[in-house]
């Protein structure tokens, strides 16, 4: 899932996917948040950890990036796409 800056619909879809993966109701998928500055200002995940509503390991459910090449590398790594050694 690639999420770009957006409004309520974007947030709803993002949190739906994160919740399904977090609770093992869906198999893991790469969740990539494009626009690091936007997402870090919008959602304070550290506060959620401090309040005990998510665990620190849940931060591994998504990645921030501003670089399409990095996003593609994350996708390839997740799905083990590429050259076999």
Structure confidence by residue, pLDDT tens digits, 55-82: 999 999 999 999 999 999 999 999 999 8
C-beta neighbour count of 48 within 10 angstroms: 14
Q: What is the pLDDT of residues 42-58, one digit of tens each?
A: 999 999 999 999 999 99
Q: What is the strand order of the sheet 32-34 is part of?
A: 2-3, 32-34, 63-65
Q: pTM to 2 decimals?
A: 0.88
- DSSP-derived 3-state class of residue 83: coil
Tell me whether residue 27 is exposed, middle or buried, using C-beta atoms within 10 angstroms of its C-beta: 0 to 12, 13 to 18, 19 or more: exposed
Listed residue (49, 54, 61, 56) closest to 21, CA to CA: 61
């Amino acid at each position: 899932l690639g999420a770009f800056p957006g409004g309520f619909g974007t947030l709803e879809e993002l949190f739906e996917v994160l919740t399904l993966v977090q609770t093992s109701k869906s198999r893991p998928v790469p969740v990539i948040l494009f626009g690091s500055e936007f997402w870090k200002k919008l959602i304070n995940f550290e506060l959620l950890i401090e309040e005990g509503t998510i665990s620190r390991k849940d931060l591994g459910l998504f990645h921030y990036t501003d670089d399409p090449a990095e996003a593609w590398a994350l996708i390839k790594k997740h799905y083990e796409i590429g050259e076999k050694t």
